[in-house]
Structure 1
Amino acid sequence: MPSKVAQDLSPLIEIDGEQFVLETPFLAAYRTAELGRAIGTLKTERDRISAALDRLFRAF
């Protein structure tokens, strides 16, 4: 079944072969203390994350 996630607002991110949805609208909903340890980096996803933030703040 195709994903109904708005890929430009909430892009699919792959970490260690597993896919996750980056829920851009919820980025400020969690305190840093609530997050677990880092398991990787999203440096290679910078452009897609920036585009998602642009959509959130300019066209949501």
Structure 2
Amino acid sequence: MCEPVCPWEAIVPEEDVPAALQEDIELNATTAKQRSAFEVPGSERIEAIRRPPSSE
């Protein structure tokens, strides 16, 4: 079964973000403000780094 990119359960108010993910709040804000500074890889790049699925 495929999972959506961001399942609705993952969307929580900032004050409810788990401690292990707190650093991501600032990173997400930075990427939103500086979107042009980030490169989105094309399909060729994605295929080049694709790994086989884990057995886990």
* Bucket of the pairwise TM-score, normalised by the shorter protein: 0.3 to 0.5
Compare the two structures and name the one with the higher helix fraction: 2
Compare the two structures and name the one with the higher strand fraction: 1
User: Structure 2-normalised TM-score?
Assistant: 0.34
Higher-Rg structure is 2
User: Structure 1-normalised TM-score?
Assistant: 0.33
- The higher-RCO structure (CA 8 Å, 6+ apart) is 1
